[in-house]
Amino acid sequence: MSKKDKVFTVKVRRDFCKGCGLCIEFCKKGVLASSAKLNSMGYNPAEVVKPEACVGCLMCTQMCPDLAIEVYSG
Amino acid sequence: MELINKWPEYHKKDVVSHYCPGCGHGIVHRIVAELLEEMDLGKKAYLVCPAGCAVLAYNYFDFDVIESAHGRGTAIATGAKRANPNLFVISYQGDGDLSAIGTAETIHSANRGENICVIFINNAVYGMTGGQMAPTSLVGQSTMTSPAGRNPEVDGYPLHITDVVAQFPGVVYAERVSVSSPAGVKKTKKAIRNAFETQQEGLGYSIVEILSPCPTNWKMDPVKACKWIDEEMVKEYKPGLLTDKREEKRKEKG
């Protein structure tokens, strides 16, 4: 399997996200967006809207101040 | 499925930090924890916390952390390092702590060339107390105590303390970086790694100044705060290497 075909899965830990939006801003593929539903802290957390677009660049995890994003390969 | 971004070993698991949304402290905490794991220093790490927003950093780090009186971080770090040179001592300070009340300690510990690492978070305001003007506030910056903007005739000019200490012969490594973009975060990690290596090799004092967003006190959303760093703050505080005397020091040591 070449690198191009690699599949990545992004998961947002809803109740750890403070909805700052930095991951949404810096994801160039538009994988993430702000959720309309509030989480347990009362923030609008990030949610995955285009899971297939993820290329595993980890820009979102680099910028997340709350370690709320997990990226899985495969 | 394999998790790529593993949770750093020396960062406490499943805690939600008290920092505001979009605060740069969380990013720097993660970098410190990651580096201690990568460089295998976590078992002997000893972090000195400041008074300021990072006062509760011991809630997030899973290694030894001590709390310092306001501004005295490098004094405590000096004592710890001299008493037990095997410790890996990091002083984590904000701008109100390091460049206002702790100016004397900062200048003298740097001048003595203590073998410690200093991580200096510069957000140009006093964050914890509600966004008052700090010595590092920019000219014209509106804060709680300078609502019409900082006026240099009354309030003076922004203090470039990292540039000051970088002139000292005892300061081996000084760099200014920002955590306002993924590229900046990577540079920050590299700079802190270099600073950690400086102490590990016993070469002397290292300081990394990090321009960090404070969306709450700047009255901006987190994305705008990052842009403000990239557009306004870097004009006053230019990111880049300020001094690197590691080669000279290595030669001196033989």
Average pLDDT score, chain B: 95
* Structural domain contains residue B58: yes
Which residues 7-66 on chain A approach chain B with CB closer than 8 angstroms?
8-9, 15-16, 18-22, 25-26, 41, 43, 56, 58-59, 61-66
| CATH classification at residue B69 | 3.40.50.970
Alpha-helical runs (H) found in chain B: 24-38, 73-83, 95-96, 103-112, 152-155, 161-166, 182-200, 215-218, 222-228, 234-236, 246-253
Q: How far is CA B163 from the centre of its chain?
A: 14
Pairing of strands B45-49, B64-67: parallel
* Structural domain contains residue B84: yes
Contact A19 B182 (CB under 8 A): no
User: What is the number of other CB atoms lying within 10 angstroms of the CB of residue B79?
Assistant: 15
Cα gap A32→B250, rounded to integer Å: 47
pLDDT at B106: 95
A-chain residue closest to B187, CA distance: A62
ipTM for the assembly: 0.92
Pairing of strands B125-126, B132-133: antiparallel
The predicted-structure confidence for B39-56, as pLDDT tens digits, reads as follows 999 999 999 999 999 999
The predicted-structure confidence for B83-113, as pLDDT tens digits, reads as follows 999 999 999 999 999 999 999 999 999 999 9
Cα gap B56→B69, rounded to integer Å: 13
Q: How far is CA B13 from CA A68, B35, B64, B99, in A?
A: 11, 17, 16, 32
What residues in A contact B2, CB-CB < 8 Å?
A: 72-74
Return the structure tokens found at B26.
Answer: 């969380």
Contact B21 A43 (CB under 8 A): yes
DSSP state for residue A15 in the 8-state scheme: G
| Domains of chain A (ranges, CATH numbers) | 3-73 (3.30.70.20)
A-chain residue closest to B28, CA distance: A65
| Contact status, residue B172 vs residue B117, Cβ threshold 8 Å | no
| Contact status, residue B44 vs residue B87, Cβ threshold 8 Å | yes
Cα gap B107→B48, rounded to integer Å: 17
CA distance A30 to chain B (A): 15
Residue A15 scores a pLDDT above 90: yes
Cα gap A56→B216, rounded to integer Å: 31
* Structural domain contains residue B11: no
pLDDT at B254: 79
| Contact status, residue B49 vs residue B64, Cβ threshold 8 Å | no
pLDDT at A74: 78
Please provide residue A70's backbone torsions phi and psi, each rounded to the nearest 5 degrees: -115, 130
pLDDT at B1: 84
Residue A48 scores a pLDDT above 80: yes
Contact A71 B3 (CB under 8 A): yes
Residue B9 scores a pLDDT above 70: yes
Average pLDDT score, chain A: 91
- A72 at interface of B, judged by CB pairs closer than 8 A: yes
Q: What is the extent of the structural domain holding B188?
A: 24-253
Residue A62 scores a pLDDT above 90: yes
Cα gap B209→B150, rounded to integer Å: 22
Cα gap B7→B4, rounded to integer Å: 9
| Contact status, residue B151 vs residue B238, Cβ threshold 8 Å | no
Residue B74 scores a pLDDT above 60: yes
How many CB contacts within 8 angstroms connect chain A with chain B?
74
User: Which of A26, A43, A61 lies closest to B5 in CB terms?
Assistant: A61
pLDDT at A6: 81
Reported as a pLDDT band with limits 50, 70 and 90, residue B116 is: very high
pLDDT at A2: 56
B-chain residue closest to A8, CA distance: B1
* Structural domain contains residue B2: no
Contact A20 B21 (CB under 8 A): yes
| Contact status, residue A56 vs residue A71, Cβ threshold 8 Å | yes
The predicted-structure confidence for B208-243, as pLDDT tens digits, reads as follows 999 999 999 999 999 999 999 999 999 999 999 999
Return the structure tokens found at B184.
Answer: 């900046």
Average pLDDT of span B140-159: 94
> Amino acid letter at B225?
A
Unique residue bearing structure tokens 């960090």: B212
Average pLDDT of span A44-53: 94
pLDDT at A4: 62
CA distance B138 to chain A (A): 24
Contact B4 A74 (CB under 8 A): no
What residues in B contact A9, CB-CB < 8 Å?
A: 1
What residues in A contact B25, CB-CB < 8 Å?
A: 65
Return the structure tokens found at B57.
Answer: 């950093």
* A65 vs B14 pLDDT, higher one: A65
Hey, CA dihedral for B212, B162, B100, B87, is it positive or negative?
positive
The predicted-structure confidence for B129-142, as pLDDT tens digits, reads as follows 999 999 999 999 99
**Number of domains chain B contains:** 1
